[in-house]
Structure 1
């Protein structure tokens, strides 16, 4: 509800600000110049909130009356705000702009509340506390394969295959394409890269999009491994991804791959070969962060070395 109210105030203020700018041909740039419009929007929304607290179900006639009352109260509040800040104000906001802000705030608050109620009551939302089954694909998530005396899950094969394809594709993109070389240039010196004709903003967008694509592939892989998804399943995976990046070397693509593989091997070996109360699957996550601490203490640049940019 706070989001919708904030949206109503913001749009109501924008409507009033547009009127004020059109009338006076003067931009509004200080908080005391905005005070009348903000006061008008807040006053109109406050009336609507009070009426809603008194009676949550309103008829269309009552809604129209609330909008009119909110416009009147909001105009009064905006006028008082203008009087309180007129000594510092650099521009004068006309009454039509204040009325527009009050009416806009009231109308948008009511419309937003109706949409909010409709979305909450009419749409069947999944519960965030329940585990949702992840879609299964026979080729990827079917029965396990038996190779000699080793049992290999098909989801694990998919994960390794996705790793090889993504790593090879990322290497080719970064080192062999024009966009990838531009990305390397931007990472070294964005100002010089911009002078060389590289569109830095586009490079940044592509980098974020590429990261989202790789994260989506990792999410699908983890969903196939767990067979169920929940809201907190990515938290520990994100911590381990950071650990793998530090283990391999921050900024080093190949180091991240090696760090992830080393981390997985260490967890598997710790689970199988460490005896006593510190062994077993319950301690595999703890051993992963022990490796992170050791790397940070004895080799903070990572196994393959962090990527360092040489500047003239």
Structure 2
């Protein structure tokens, strides 16, 4: 809050700065007094609020005026000491403006926080939050031949099929997707070929965020609750699936994810003794990753690439 107020005030002050042409503007001589004016106004306001949180209207006006006067005076002395009387005189208007804007913005932000933000009951990030339920997706489980299938699992499989097909088509059949492949291989050469590399990077991040949102919704439907730690282990599993299928291969990532899920389920159900059960499923998943990295580092569907001179 304080940093935002000082930043806005500094921008206002720089717009109002008028320095004679025979005195060139430098980073220190002209900007230091502006920062001093904002800083002194901030210190006056913070000191008053620390001493008494609830000030009357008269006291609030006195704090604002005192911060403006004291900030302007000290900043004027700094400007006179560093740049001389002529330069200090040219900065008076800007110093008054930046001190006033700082004090007023701080007071407005404090009132907004005290009367609005502090009274809202924000949910705790450490608690589980119930995820919205949809009858079609999270209703009663489906019974097929004695096999129970959760509706959330059906939604996940359908979303996987749709997203994988659309992603494959985008990467391999659209101009933007081909440009993304070129940038991933050699961004400098792609830029020389007329590809907007910055735009490709933005699209890649946006596409990843969209797919992550679909994955988060699927996991929320399955768990019925969300929390701040739910994506950590899922991200590790996603990396494991990508390596298992082959980095850079869309079909490989899908196959790797399916293989990883099947291995976890089978290890949980069919491995007897102390090495079975749900507590060991993550261990078996990363054991599969280690085996793949040792015996087939390019992944299940990855192609071996040979660099030739």
Shared fold, TM over 0.5: yes
Show the counterpart of 2:282. Answer: 285
SS in 2 for 1:251: coil
User: How do 1:95-174 residues align onto structure 2 when only pairs under 5 Å count?
Assistant: 95-174=92-171
Deviates more, 1:78-87 or 1:282-291: 78-87
Show the counterpart of 2:213. Answer: 216
Mark the CA change 1:266 to 1:114 in structure 2 (over 3 Å): closer, same or farther.
same
Deviates more, 1:194-203 or 1:165-174: 194-203
Mark the CA change 1:184 to 1:63 in structure 2 (over 3 Å): closer, same or farther.
same
Mark the CA change 1:105 to 1:150 in structure 2 (over 3 Å): closer, same or farther.
same
* 1:64 CA drift (Å): 1.8
* 1:261 CA drift (Å): 1.2
Q: Is the 8 A contact 1:70 1:106 kept in 2?
A: yes
Q: Deviations over 1:62-83 (max 9, x none)?
A: 2221111111222234345446
Unaligned stretches of 5+ in structure 1? none
Q: Is the 8 A contact 2:264 2:281 kept in 1?
A: yes
Separation in 2, partners of 1:207, 1:311: 29
Q: Is the 8 A contact 1:252 1:306 kept in 2?
A: no
* 1:267 CA drift (Å): 0.9
Choose which of 207, 221, 233 in structure 1 pairs with 2:230. Answer: 233
Q: Is the 8 A contact 2:41 2:67 kept in 1?
A: yes
* 1:138 CA drift (Å): 1.6
| 1:53 and 2:53 correspond | no
Q: Deviations over 1:192-219 (max 9, x none)?
A: 3334333333322222221111111111
SS in 2 for 1:151: strand
Separation in 2, partners of 1:306, 1:83: 70
Unaligned stretches of 5+ in structure 2? none
Deviates more, 1:72-81 or 1:213-222: 72-81
Q: Deviations over 1:212-245 (max 9, x none)?
A: 1111111110011001112222222122112222
Q: Deviations over 1:120-174 (max 9, x none)?
A: 2333322323322211112211111122232111111110111011000000011
The structure with the largest alpha-carbon Rg is 2
* 1:262 CA drift (Å): 1.6
Q: Deviations over 1:91-128 (max 9, x none)?
A: 87712222222222111111112222233233332232
Aligned pairs, number: 305
Query: Normalization by structure 1: what TM-score?
Result: 0.87
| 1:205 and 2:202 correspond | yes
Show the counterpart of 1:248. Answer: 245
Separation in 2, partners of 1:9, 1:117: 20
Q: Is the 8 A contact 1:188 1:309 kept in 2?
A: no
Q: Is the 8 A contact 1:43 1:73 kept in 2?
A: yes
Separation in 1, partners of 2:181, 2:20: 49
CA RMSD, 1 decimal: 2.8
Deviates more, 1:202-211 or 1:263-272: 202-211
SS in 2 for 1:174: helix
Separation in 2, partners of 1:311, 1:211: 32
Mark the CA change 1:65 to 1:171 in structure 2 (over 3 Å): closer, same or farther.
same
